[in-house]
């Protein structure tokens, strides 16, 4: 057995990079470490604009699922089944393991969390996306328990849901996008 702490350390690296930048007088930067992103300051006085990858880009012509404006100190983290996976007999198996079954999680294609500013925003963005991804359809109850108010999820069938707070921040690339808002 091997343990991979990558699901935690990218977020820690975001927070450390932000601290180093600030210590060196860099007040405006967009830090991206493997898809986890933290905003410092702004881009010419405007919020940083980032794309959220569609988990099946071939189905939408490569366009992002949505865009989001990040404000100073905010961080996003996405967990998905589309970068680290393998296919066997036409079935996709992702790298995130559901501890309830010991098998790869299957109920979610992608899940993004937006974390408010704080000393550990990067780490929290990385850590909190994983259990919500694994929770599958039960993610709203867990999201509330974890205190995460801004979540975007694409389920295994490609259906999109989001918390009201997250949906208000997103700009979907397709005007016809059907998003179920979860309270």
Mean of the pLDDT values across residues 104-124?
Answer: 93
Q: pLDDT band at residue 17, thresholds of 50, 70 and 90?
A: very high
Task: For residues 8-33, give the mean pLDDT.
Answer: 94
Higher pLDDT, 6 or 164: 164
Q: Report the CATH number that the domain containing residue 145 is assigned in CATH.
A: 3.10.520.10
pLDDT of residue 14: 95
Above 70 in pLDDT, residue 86? no
Query: Is residue 45 in some structural domain?
Result: yes
pTM above 0.85, yes or no: yes
pLDDT band per the 50, 70, 90 thresholds, residue 84? low
Domain that holds residue 94: 6-182
Residue pLDDT, tens place only, 124-181: 999 999 999 999 999 999 999 999 999 999 999 999 999 999 999 999 877 667 888 9
Query: What band does 56 get if pLDDT is binned at 50, 70 and 90?
Result: confident
SS3 of 87-130: the string is EECCEEEECCEECCCCEECCCEEEEEEEECCCCCHHHHHHHHHH
pLDDT for residue 62 = 74
Residue 33 lies in a domain: yes
Asked whether residue 1 is domain-assigned, the answer is no
**Structural domain count, the chain:** 1
């Amino acid at each position: 057995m091997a343990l991979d702490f990558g699901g935690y350390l990218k977020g820690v690296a975001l927070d450390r990079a932000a601290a180093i930048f600030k210590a060196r007088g860099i007040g405006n930067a967009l830090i991206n470490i493997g898809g986890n992103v933290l905003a410092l300051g702004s881009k010419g006085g405007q919020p940083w604009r980032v794309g959220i990858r569609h988990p099946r880009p071939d189905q939408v012509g490569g366009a992002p699922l949505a865009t989001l404006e990040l404000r100073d100190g905010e961080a996003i983290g996405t967990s998905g089944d589309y970068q680290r996976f393998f296919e066997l007999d036409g079935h996709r198996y992702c790298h995130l393991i559901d501890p309830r079954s010991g098998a790869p999680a299957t109920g979610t294609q992608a899940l993004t969390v937006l974390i408010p500013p704080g000393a550990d925003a990067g780490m929290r963005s990385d850590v909190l996306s994983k259990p919500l991804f694994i929770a599958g359809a039960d993610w709203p109850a867990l999201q509330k328990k974890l205190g995460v108010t801004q979540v975007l999820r694409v389920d295994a069938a490609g259906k999109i849901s989001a918390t009201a707070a997250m949906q208000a921040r997103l700009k979907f690339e397709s005007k016809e996008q059907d998003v179920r808002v979860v309270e």
